[in-house]
Amino acid sequence: MLLLISDANVLIDIEKGGLLASLFHLNMQFAVPDILFKEELGQRHAHLIEYGLQVRSVSSRSIAKTVQFAGKYSKVSRNNLFALALALQDNCSLLTGDKFLSTAAEKEGVTVRKTMWLMNAMTG
């Protein structure tokens, strides 16, 4: 089963569009870094866990990578850099609609799946 590490915005947009059930019925797993969940999703979107969203811990090595990335990719938020580091840590794809995060991920050799790819998967 395909594992995708997501940024917060994709999940929030899917929820706003009323598509959560469709998202979590796909033959895919979705995860976010623990710090991103705590800071961006936990208070208003904790119910995503009930749908099947995984919250994964970022290793100390990946935290160090995030610090390195912050020096290289100044236009990417810290929490999005944690998502990139987690995708590298877990050797999986990154799900994002953020162009700066997409560019950073591609430079780091991470496969990027964008929001339109996800919409096609849900309607396909």
What CATH number does residue 44 fall under?
A: 3.40.50.1010
Cβ–Cβ < 8 Å for 76, 100: yes
Q: What is the pLDDT of residue 54?
A: 97
Q: What is the pLDDT of residue 1?
A: 81
Residue range 42-86, pLDDT digits in tens: 999 999 999 999 999 999 999 999 999 999 999 999 999 999 999
Question: What Rg, from alpha-carbon coordinates, does the chain have?
Answer: 13
Please give the average per-residue pLDDT across 22-46, as a whole number. Answer: 95
Q: Helical H runs in 28-92?
A: 34-36, 42-45, 48-51, 60-72, 78-89
Q: What is the pLDDT of residue 122?
A: 86
Q: Which domain holds residue 53?
A: 2-123
Cβ–Cβ < 8 Å for 16, 124: no
Report the 10 Å Cβ neighbour count for 18. 8
Q: Which residues contact 55 (CB under 8 A, 6 or more apart)?
A: 31, 32, 33, 34, 37, 49
9 has pLDDT over 90: yes
110 has pLDDT over 80: yes
Phi, psi of 40 (to 5 degrees): -120, -25
* Average per-residue pLDDT for the chain: 95
Please give the average per-residue pLDDT across 108-119, as a whole number. Answer: 94
Number of domains the chain is built from: 1
Q: pTM of the prediction? A: 0.94
